[in-house]
């Protein structure tokens, strides 16, 4: 990199002359070189917090084992999977145990992390089951199963939209659930009409 292209710190946006240290602040500034005004924002680097670690040297050899990854740091625990001693910087505590970073990555890739597993309710599948069950046992249970199919279909539509998937099949299930309820009510109305005659 040539000397003319090397970064020299914050500069005036008009004349590109580097600002003096006392000029590096937030607010309206006037360049001392070209006398033109500009708005500046000073960047304050965030304070880096580090987990408290004890060095093996301060504890002494009888009081600590060294971390497998950081030989100067004292180990606070061992990996539940491989048994390596790890310091507080390396410890990946999942509530079910502590793991070293490499075992954590391996378990995450394999999908064997129990805390990361989420249950997925397939509302579209539940609606389909309710519709089929309602068609099989339509007359005695249609009034209960039909609304249940519609309820699951509405949740399935929302779920499919969130996943950016098609909602056509779930909409058909919802219509079938409504038809089950309407058919059941028509059947009951017909029975009452016939009984009244």
- In 3D space, the residue among 90, 58, 87 whose CA is nearest the CA of residue 74 turns out to be 87
- SS3 sequence of 79-119: CCCCCCEECCCCCEECCCCEECHHHHHHHHHHCCCHHHCCC
Q: What digits encode the pLDDT tens for the residues 35-92?
A: 888 787 776 655 555 556 666 556 555 556 888 888 888 888 889 889 889 998 888 8
Q: Which residue has the tokens 């909602």?
A: 167
Q: Is the pLDDT of residue 1 over 70?
A: no
Average pLDDT value for residue range 105-124:
74
The pLDDT of residue 60 is 54
Mean pLDDT computed over every residue of the chain: 80
Structural element, H or E, at residue 181: helix 168-196
């Amino acid at each position: 990199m040539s000397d003319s292209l090397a970064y020299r710190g914050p500069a005036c946006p008009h004349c590109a002359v580097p600002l003096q240290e006392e000029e590096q602040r937030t607010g309206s500034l006037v360049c001392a070189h070209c006398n033109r005004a500009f708005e500046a924002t000073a960047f304050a680097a965030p304070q880096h917090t580090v987990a408290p670690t004890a060095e093996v040297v301060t504890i002494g050899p009888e009081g600590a084992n060294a971390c497998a990854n950081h030989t100067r740091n004292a180990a606070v625990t061992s990996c539940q999977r491989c048994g390596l001693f790890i310091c507080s910087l390396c410890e990946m505590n999942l509530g079910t145990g502590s793991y070293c970073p490499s075992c954590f990555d391996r378990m995450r890739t394999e999908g064997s992390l129990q805390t990361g597993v989420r249950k997925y309710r397939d509302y579209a599948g539940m609606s389909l089951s309710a519709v089929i069950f309602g068609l099989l046992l339509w007359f005695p249970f249609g009034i209960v199963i039909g609304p249940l199919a519609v309820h699951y279909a509405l949740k399935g539509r929302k779920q499919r939209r969130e996943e950016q998937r098609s909602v056509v099949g779930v909409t058909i299930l919802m219509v079938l659930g409504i038809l089950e309820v309407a058919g059941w009510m028509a059947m009951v109305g017909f029975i009452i009409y016939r009984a009244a005659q």
